[in-house]
Amino acid sequence: MKTNLPALTNLSASPATNDIRALKPPIEIPNGWLWVWYLAALVVLGIAGYLIWRYWQRRAAGPVLIPVIPPHERARKRLQEALALIAQSRPFCIVVSDTVRLYLEERFNFHAPERTSEEFLHELKATELLTPDQKQSLGEFLAVCDMVKFARYEPGLPELKALHDSAVRLIDETEPQPAALFTTAADPAQA
């Protein structure tokens, strides 16, 4: 018997046939967030690099030294600024009085701002920090300032200028003198 079926003998050799092939390896699917992690790591490294660079720049520059302004210079500056308030007697006297008290505290380590004027003057009499004339002038100065601050006394412009001049004079008289700039001429090698 003859059949009309094709021969099945050579099926694997023909390229047009549908035979089973070997499995391909799995395809790796990239993580969609991986680039975010890379970017975050790059930013962190950049910030760390900047901070290290800034640290080394500051360290190389050395410490920043703030100049110390002597008490007499600060007091003079505050008294100069107080002249803007001279038209208002009470605020003017408060600033001038506080400036003198703070100056005396810083200059002589004398606790003036916390005390009443009477306590302050009584303690000042027992010291040799000021001359008798300076003590008397300071007493008069504080008495006028207290009358303006507490008794609502309204002094005129000339009296306010006199108060200011008295404060400036006290600072000028008690300012520390600089060390001698010149040596004696007896030893020319030192000069």
- Per residue, the 3-state secondary structure of 111-123, as one string, reads CCCCCCHHHHHHH
Is 101 within a domain?
yes
pLDDT band at residue 2 using 50, 70 and 90 as cut-offs: low
- Across all residues in the chain, what is the average pLDDT? 81
Which two three-digit tokens encode residue 182?
């010149």
Is 128 within a domain?
yes
Is 18 within a domain?
no
Is 29 within a domain?
no
E strand intervals along 3-120: none
Is 162 within a domain?
yes
List the domain range (segments joined by +) for residue 111: 71-174
Average pLDDT of the residues in 19-45: 86
Pick the more confident residue, 99 or 113.
Answer: 99
- Is the pLDDT score of 187 beyond 80? no
pLDDT band at residue 61 using 50, 70 and 90 as cut-offs: confident
How deeply is 34 buried, as exposed, middle or buried, from its count of CB atoms within 10 A (0-12, 13-18, 19+)?
A: exposed
Is 107 within a domain?
yes
Residues 113-158: pLDDT tens digits? 677 888 888 888 888 888 888 888 888 888 998 898 888 888 889 9
Pick the most confident of 12-26, 36-50, 176-190: 36-50
Please compute, for residue 111, the number of CA atoms within 13 A of its CA located in the half-sphere on the CB side: 3
Please compute, for residue 20, the number of CA atoms within 13 A of its CA located in the half-sphere on the CB side: 1
Is 65 within a domain?
no
Is 60 within a domain?
no
pLDDT band at residue 191 using 50, 70 and 90 as cut-offs: very low
CB 164 within 8 A of CB 79: yes
- Is the pLDDT score of 6 beyond 80? no
Total domains in the fold of the chain:
1
- Is the pLDDT score of 70 beyond 50? yes
CB 156 within 8 A of CB 163: no
Cα-based torsion angle of the residue sequence 58, 60, 61, 67 in order, rounded to the nearest 10 degrees: 90
